[in-house]
Amino acid sequence: MSHARRAASKSRTDPVPSVAAAPYIYRVVVEQDEDRYYAEIPTLPGCYSWGYTYEEAFRNVKEALELWLEVKKEAGEAIPTDDPQTIRKASLTIGVLVPLDGFIFHEDGFFDTTKI
Protein backbone atom coordinates (compact mmCIF):
# COMPACT_ATOMS: atom_id res chain seq x y z
CA MET A 1 0.00 0.00 0.00
CA SER A 2 1.40 3.40 -0.92
CA HIS A 3 2.09 6.05 1.71
CA ALA A 4 -0.70 8.27 0.31
CA ARG A 5 -3.23 5.42 0.48
CA ARG A 6 -2.20 4.55 4.04
CA ALA A 7 -2.55 8.18 5.12
CA ALA A 8 -5.95 8.47 3.43
CA SER A 9 -7.23 5.30 5.09
CA LYS A 10 -6.03 6.52 8.52
CA SER A 11 -7.79 9.86 8.07
CA ARG A 12 -11.17 8.20 7.49
CA THR A 13 -13.48 8.16 10.45
CA ASP A 14 -15.28 5.05 11.63
CA PRO A 15 -18.69 4.65 10.03
CA VAL A 16 -21.54 6.13 12.03
CA PRO A 17 -23.49 3.34 13.71
CA SER A 18 -26.86 2.79 12.09
CA VAL A 19 -30.10 1.95 13.84
CA ALA A 20 -30.78 -1.77 14.16
CA ALA A 21 -33.90 -2.73 12.26
CA ALA A 22 -36.14 -5.71 11.65
CA PRO A 23 -37.23 -6.48 8.08
CA TYR A 24 -40.94 -6.76 7.34
CA ILE A 25 -42.10 -8.12 3.98
CA TYR A 26 -45.72 -8.07 2.82
CA ARG A 27 -47.80 -9.23 -0.13
CA VAL A 28 -49.21 -6.34 -2.16
CA VAL A 29 -52.33 -6.49 -4.32
CA VAL A 30 -52.68 -3.89 -7.09
CA GLU A 31 -55.90 -3.75 -9.10
CA GLN A 32 -56.84 -1.49 -11.97
CA ASP A 33 -60.10 0.46 -11.95
CA GLU A 34 -61.48 2.69 -14.71
CA ASP A 35 -58.88 5.46 -14.48
CA ARG A 36 -56.59 4.49 -11.59
CA TYR A 37 -54.91 1.68 -9.71
CA TYR A 38 -55.66 0.62 -6.15
CA ALA A 39 -52.98 -1.02 -4.02
CA GLU A 40 -53.44 -2.71 -0.66
CA ILE A 41 -51.58 -4.87 1.83
CA PRO A 42 -54.22 -7.43 2.87
CA THR A 43 -52.41 -8.41 6.09
CA LEU A 44 -52.61 -4.86 7.44
CA PRO A 45 -56.20 -3.62 7.81
CA GLY A 46 -56.61 -0.14 6.39
CA CYS A 47 -53.22 -0.11 4.66
CA TYR A 48 -54.04 0.87 1.09
CA SER A 49 -53.56 3.66 -1.43
CA TRP A 50 -54.06 4.47 -5.09
CA GLY A 51 -52.39 6.14 -8.06
CA TYR A 52 -53.03 7.01 -11.68
CA THR A 53 -50.35 4.50 -12.73
CA TYR A 54 -49.33 1.10 -11.41
CA GLU A 55 -45.98 2.51 -10.30
CA GLU A 56 -47.58 5.47 -8.51
CA ALA A 57 -49.99 3.17 -6.66
CA PHE A 58 -47.07 0.97 -5.57
CA ARG A 59 -45.03 3.99 -4.36
CA ASN A 60 -48.05 5.33 -2.50
CA VAL A 61 -48.81 2.03 -0.77
CA LYS A 62 -45.18 1.85 0.35
CA GLU A 63 -45.62 5.26 2.01
CA ALA A 64 -48.92 4.07 3.53
CA LEU A 65 -47.11 0.98 4.85
CA GLU A 66 -44.38 3.05 6.48
CA LEU A 67 -46.97 5.30 8.16
CA TRP A 68 -49.11 2.31 9.22
CA LEU A 69 -46.12 0.64 10.87
CA GLU A 70 -45.02 3.89 12.54
CA VAL A 71 -48.46 4.40 14.11
CA LYS A 72 -48.62 0.80 15.38
CA LYS A 73 -45.09 0.98 16.76
CA GLU A 74 -45.74 4.28 18.56
CA ALA A 75 -48.95 2.82 20.04
CA GLY A 76 -46.96 -0.19 21.27
CA GLU A 77 -49.10 -2.56 19.24
CA ALA A 78 -47.84 -5.76 17.67
CA ILE A 79 -46.94 -5.60 13.99
CA PRO A 80 -48.55 -8.43 11.99
CA THR A 81 -46.43 -10.39 9.55
CA ASP A 82 -47.29 -12.35 6.43
CA ASP A 83 -46.83 -16.08 6.40
CA PRO A 84 -43.55 -17.02 4.62
CA GLN A 85 -45.51 -19.30 2.25
CA THR A 86 -47.73 -16.36 1.29
CA ILE A 87 -44.67 -14.25 0.56
CA ARG A 88 -43.08 -16.98 -1.59
CA LYS A 89 -46.26 -17.39 -3.65
CA ALA A 90 -46.99 -13.66 -4.01
CA SER A 91 -46.56 -12.04 -7.40
CA LEU A 92 -45.75 -8.69 -5.76
CA THR A 93 -44.18 -7.94 -2.38
CA ILE A 94 -42.89 -4.91 -0.55
CA GLY A 95 -40.39 -4.71 2.28
CA VAL A 96 -39.41 -2.14 4.88
CA LEU A 97 -37.03 -2.00 7.82
CA VAL A 98 -38.53 -1.11 11.20
CA PRO A 99 -36.02 0.27 13.73
CA LEU A 100 -35.65 -1.61 17.00
CA ASP A 101 -35.96 0.77 19.96
CA GLY A 102 -32.95 1.15 22.18
CA PHE A 103 -30.51 -0.61 19.86
CA ILE A 104 -27.98 0.60 17.35
CA PHE A 105 -26.03 -1.58 14.98
CA HIS A 106 -22.32 -1.25 14.57
CA GLU A 107 -20.22 -3.48 12.35
CA ASP A 108 -19.09 -5.27 15.53
CA GLY A 109 -22.67 -6.16 16.52
CA PHE A 110 -25.74 -4.79 18.34
CA PHE A 111 -25.48 -2.46 21.31
CA ASP A 112 -28.23 -1.73 23.81
CA THR A 113 -28.20 2.06 24.18
CA THR A 114 -30.48 1.92 27.22
CA LYS A 115 -27.54 0.54 29.25
CA ILE A 116 -24.91 3.05 28.11
Is 1 inside a domain boundary? no
Q: Confidence class of residue 109 from pLDDT cuts 50, 70 and 90?
A: very low
Q: Into how many domains does the chain fold?
A: 1
| Residue type at 55 in one-letter notation | E
Give the whole-angstrom CA distance, residue 13 versus residue 73. Answer: 33
CATH value at residue 64: 3.30.160.250
The DSSP secondary structure of 38-106, one letter per residue, reads EEE-TTSTT-EEEESSHHHHHHHHHHHHHHHHHHHHHTTPPPP---HHHHHH-S-EEEEEEEEEEEEEE
Is 77 inside a domain boundary? yes
pLDDT for the residue 19: 60
pLDDT for the residue 28: 96
pTM of the model: 0.68
Cβ(29)–Cβ(53) below 8 Å = no
pLDDT of 21-76, one tens digit each?
788 899 999 999 999 999 999 999 999 999 999 999 999 999 999 999 889 888 88
Is 97 inside a domain boundary? yes
Is 68 inside a domain boundary? yes
Is 76 inside a domain boundary? yes
Which domain, by its residues, includes 32? 18-115
